[in-house]
Structure 1
């Protein structure tokens, strides 16, 4: 889901789940189509892309449901601990300044969050102004799930935090403000980069995971189903979401995540 500044909102599954990962996104960041050559001009390049491989990390997943009792908060807290450990060490090795995000858990959506109305029909999201990851503990994105999708979603939102820490978001937002004609494709480049960064993290913890090959295939199927539809072009097609996630997953390096110089078809 999108990082969220002041502004918000839109709809949800594999029907609603697909909508969870693509809709309801901020006016300032959500945003129509780059011809060839514009991508390079937009290019919020970053030192993050030059930091090498993410070290392998042990990150066993606790159960989301234990003896019929939801453990979503415990699951996400464990995921955040792994993400903080992995990326803070990576930043330290690269000589980059790191700051943990704030994390806010909600049993269910509330009227206002991060100083704005709760965005309609979103799963997790990142409040850029407060560097806060917001996780509702209910909803199709996490409730009663046993697959890898919640971990991937947490890693995607964390990717937006990494974009903020390394100046990618600032340069992206400046470009969005100055280039109204090309906002939607810029937004997809931003989102697909977060998909790729989530793949980098999941690739780095793959060896410590007890997941089967079928679990990883199911994640690809879920990502493919969460692609944009005709009316909401915010995160990219299902095929491109899978492609960028897999680029990060296989390379285990942010260098694989340069969506800014990709061809328009690769970020459609």
Structure 2
């Protein structure tokens, strides 16, 4: 990616090494009431699967948070700040075209664990968006897991992760999360089905960002699109379940298959139009 001339967002809270705060349990899922945490657990995969994939990660009863010595030239943070700045530019302009105001979210960098308005989460949960405080939470260690364990490396793969979480903030800004909450299904299967549509739409919004950011500043280089699609495929429910236990349970899916995630990301990327991202009206995903 070409990010050298992209401004860095100032909406970043760096709490790495701070200890993570109090330990109110993280509230996951719950579409019947409100989607409390979006994007967690490798973008919504069953937590038991994630724990199997991250056996070397922090234990659930850990009482300490790893301390991080931040380098003077923090390239990881700078990269995130520039991607976040790009999402702010794109979505601010898009909302203006719609006659609306985009309220920029904040992004919290943490290490080991963090307390959000949705509860306490450890690194093994993965990146997530908390609608309660309008913040994205990210441990940069996740990118190593994405590359080493899931085979999805590259700068655009990392940008896709950020753009997906920002996609949830866009949903929150547009009132989509509230609408989904009101139509919540009492059954687990129904709730999972709604979750899949929420997550695939966030993938599509990530594609919309990429299209518009590239049109404005030519950010993408050869191979970037492939990195993004590879990342989307890497976190498909079917692929993660098969990797963790050798078989898949479609009714347990919360984010969609690898093929679905790639398809909706590509839809946003080709159109640059959020109207093409209506997963809720789509007869099939």
**Fold equivalence (TM over 0.5):** yes
Deviations 1:228-248 (Å, cap 9, x if unpaired)?
Answer: 122451110100101000000
How far apart in 2 are the matches of 1:20 and 1:179?
A: 23
Closer/same/farther in 2, CA of residues 180 and 171 from structure 1, 3 Å limit: farther
The alignment of Structure 1 onto Structure 2 pairs a total of residues equal to: 209
Contact 1:124–1:134 (Cα < 8 Å) also in 2: yes
Contact 2:118–2:130 (Cα < 8 Å) also in 1: no
- 2:86 is equivalent to residue 77 of structure 1: no
- 2:115 is equivalent to residue 112 of structure 1: yes
Contact 1:24–1:122 (Cα < 8 Å) also in 2: no
Closer/same/farther in 2, CA of residues 228 and 161 from structure 1, 3 Å limit: same
- 2:262 is equivalent to residue 242 of structure 1: yes
Deviates more, 1:231-240 or 1:201-210: 201-210
- Unaligned residue ranges in structure 1 (runs of 5+): 10-18, 26-68
Q: Which has the higher contact order (CA 8 A, sep 6+)?
A: 1
How far apart in 2 are the matches of 1:115 and 1:169?
A: 15
1:45 corresponds to: none
- Unaligned residue ranges in structure 2 (runs of 5+): 1-24, 30-40, 48-72, 239-247
2:165 corresponds to: 157
How far apart in 2 are the matches of 1:137 and 1:7?
A: 22
2:178 pairs with one of 157, 160, 170: 170
Contact 1:193–1:244 (Cα < 8 Å) also in 2: yes
What SS class does the counterpart of residue 234 from structure 1 fall into? coil
- 2:225 is equivalent to residue 222 of structure 1: no
Contact 1:123–1:141 (Cα < 8 Å) also in 2: no
Closer/same/farther in 2, CA of residues 263 and 115 from structure 1, 3 Å limit: closer
**For 1:49-68, what aligned pairs fall within 5 Å after superposition?**
none
TM-score relative to the length of structure 2: 0.65
TM-score relative to the length of structure 1: 0.69
TM-aligned CA deviation for residue 204 of structure 1: 1.1
1:188 corresponds to: 196
TM-aligned CA deviation for residue 105 of structure 1: 1.3
How far apart in 1 are the matches of 2:43 and 2:133?
A: 21
1:16 corresponds to: none
2:273 corresponds to: 253
